[in-house]
Amino acid sequence: MTKKTATRKTTAKRRGASKSPNAEPPKNIPVIRAFLFAGVIALVVFGALNIKWQGAIDRVNALAHRPVSQVLIEGEFNFVEREGLQETLETHLSGDFMDINLTEIKKLLEANPWVASVRIQRVWPDSLKLSVIEHRPIARWGDVGFINSHGQLVYVNIEQRLVHLPLLSGNAENSDAIAQKYLQISEVLASIGLRVHGLAVDEKMFVTVTADKNLKIYLGQEKIETKLETLILVYERELQYKVDTIHYIDMRYEKGLAVGWLDGQEKRI
C-alpha cells in the first residue's frame, strides 16, 4: 500500500518591493517653481533699479559739487553799493555749491553798518539768491551814526546824504527812549504845522526841541504829553501867526508857559 504525501504550496511575500510605476508625483512642485521664477524676476528688477538709482545719485553728486555760477542780489539800495556786496561775496564762493557756508556769508554781509538783514537761498542747480534790506535812517545821532526806523542807534560815518535828517543827541545808552520821544513829539508838532529839526536830552533828561526857523521848545523832564497838549492849545490860539518873531517857548512851568521873543522880551501865558 502506497502512501501519498500532500505538498502545501506556499507563496512567499517579497520584502522591499518597489511601488507601482504609475504613482503620482509630489503636488508642490509647481509652487516651488513659481517661487523660484518670482525670485529671479525680483533679482533682475532690483538690479535694474539699483543701477538707475546709483546713476541718479551720481548725477546729483555731480551737480552738488559744481561751483556757484550766478549770484542774484535783490533789494532797494540807497546807501549800500550792490557792486560792493558782489565783491565781498566773491571771496567766499570758492567752494562747491552745497559746501558754501550760508550762515558765514550772512554774518559777513550784515557786518556792513548800512545792512539791516540778509536772506540767502540756494537756487538749484548752481545759483544763490540774496535778499538785502537796508537800514532806513530817520534821524542823525550826533556825528557818529543814525537812528533807524526801529529806533535803534547804528554807528556809521555820517554822509552828506544824511545832513537833511533831524539831529538827535543824548546819552547813547538811552538812544531807544530818545528816539521814541522824537517820534512822539514829531507827530504832535506836525499836527500844528511844525517840523522837528533837532531834539536834545541832557544828563538830567531835560528835553529841548528845535523846530522850524530855529524855534526852541523847552519841554523839561516830566509830563511831556500834558505839556504838548497845552502847547497845541496856546499855539493855535495865540502863537501860530507870530511864530516868525518867537525865539523860544518854555514849557518848564508847573502851569502855563513862557514865550521868549526875538526882541529879548519874555511873556508868561
d(CA 152, CA 129): 27
Do 164 and 199 lie in a common domain? yes
For residue 1, what pLDDT is reported? Answer: 42
d(CA 93, CA 100): 7
For residue 66, what pLDDT is reported? Answer: 75
For residue 61, what pLDDT is reported? Answer: 53
Sheet of 207-210: strand order equals 153-155, 145-148, 137-141, 167-169, 198-201, 207-210, 216-220, 246-250, 258-261, 266-268
Given 105, 134, 163, the domain boundary residue is 134
Do 144 and 160 lie in a common domain? yes
Residue 236 lies in domain: 137-268
Helix (H) or strand (E) holding 181: helix 175-190
Percentage of the chain beyond pLDDT 70 is: 76
For residue 259, what pLDDT is reported? Answer: 95
Q: Is residue 19 part of a domain?
A: no
Sheet of 70-74: strand order equals 70-74, 127-134, 115-123
Do 118 and 142 lie in a common domain? no
Do 120 and 159 lie in a common domain? no
Given 116, 134, 152, the domain boundary residue is 134
Which segments in the chain show pLDDT lower than 70? 1-40, 42-65
Do 127 and 158 lie in a common domain? no
For residue 157, what pLDDT is reported? Answer: 85
Residues in the chain, how many?
269
State whether residue 226 is helix, strand or coil: helix
Residue 40 identity: V
Phi, psi (deg, nearest 5) at residue 188: -70, -45
Are 92 and 67 in contact by the 8 Å Cβ rule? The answer is no
Are 217 and 244 in contact by the 8 Å Cβ rule? The answer is no
Do 94 and 186 lie in a common domain? no
Given 115, 134, 153, the domain boundary residue is 134
Helix (H) or strand (E) holding 266: strand 266-268
Do 263 and 170 lie in a common domain? yes
For residue 8, what pLDDT is reported? Answer: 44
d(CA 242, CA 213): 12
For residue 161, what pLDDT is reported? Answer: 85
Grid cell listed for 61: 553728486
CATH label of the domain that carries residue 125: 3.10.20.310
For 102, 149, 174, 182, 220, the CA distances from 179, given in Å and listed in that order, are 34, 9, 9, 5, 16
